[in-house]
Amino acid sequence: MDTGQVPRSDRERTIESKQQPVMVRGARGEEGQEVYIEMRGPSGLGARSKTPYQNVLPKYKRTAEQALNKGRIPKEHQNRVREYFKSLEGGR
């Protein structure tokens, strides 16, 4: 399911939201269906980073490409990883 993209802006603004961090405990099995929700948007948790993502993006992308080439990312998620880094490059 494609949720679209978050509009980019050079203006800083406060995002009003309610977060409820949760953690799932247990062991993950390899069988059965898996359900997840992918959310794209700015995080409201924590302090703003002092390092622009453009400074770390090349290293993170290389690491992801290495993981893809070595088969460390399941086939069903490989396209999602590629699309994620492609979407970040568009924000330059």
Q: How many independent structural domains does the chain possess?
A: 1
Per the domain annotation, does 34 fall within a domain? no
Q: Which pTM value belongs to this model?
A: 0.48
- Which residue did the predictor score with more confidence, 62 or 24? 62
Helix ranges (H only) for the chain are: 53-69, 75-89
> For residue 80, what pLDDT is reported?
92
Are the C-beta atoms of 67 and 73 separated by less than 8 Å?
yes
Residue 10 has pLDDT above 80, yes or no: no
In a domain, 40, yes or no: no
Residue range(s) defining the domain that contains residue 73: 53-89
Q: How far apart are CA 53 and CA 81, in angstroms?
A: 17
Model pLDDT, residue 79? 93
Cβ(65)–Cβ(73) under 8 Å? no
DSSP 45: S
- Residue 12 domain-assigned? no
Nearest to 81 by CA among 70, 26, 16: 70
pLDDT attached to residue 43? 62
